[in-house]
Amino acid sequence: MDSIRITGMVFFGYHGVFAEEQKIGQRFYVNVELYLDLAAAALSDEVSDTVDYGQVYKLVRDIVEGEPKKLIEAVAGEISNRVFAEYPQVMRIVVEVIKPSAPVPGIFDQVSARLDRNRNRNSADLPVQDTGSEVHPSERS
């Protein structure tokens, strides 16, 4: 399937579990890949036959620079949900939100959350399996 990739977007946001992260903020990097049929756009050379990636950039910017969230997973989830809501021609989206300054003790380049969603089958659509027990997953054999 065809795709449009917008990579290396950089925004300043206030996402994080700790109050200090939501107070002082930090940089976040975002990569988005939109999967859709680009055959019409390839022939017509008209933006109306594709997704305006300038508008997608603004959507991502508004989310990352907007209301603080605790988790970058939630930021990525909002991006994917909003893209699906506003662009019905997008059939699949991969969103990666990168937090290079995560407050994790240790040496690392970055922490990221990457969501891969299909319009017709999002992870939220998956059934919850009832195991019939209160056993923590780590205690199961």
Kindly list the catalytic residues: 99
Query: Where do runs of H (alpha helix) occur along the chain?
Result: 19-24, 39-44, 53-64, 72-86
User: For the chain, what's the residue count?
Assistant: 141
CB 103 within 8 A of CB 21: yes
Of 2, 3, 15, the closest CA to residue 111 belongs to 15
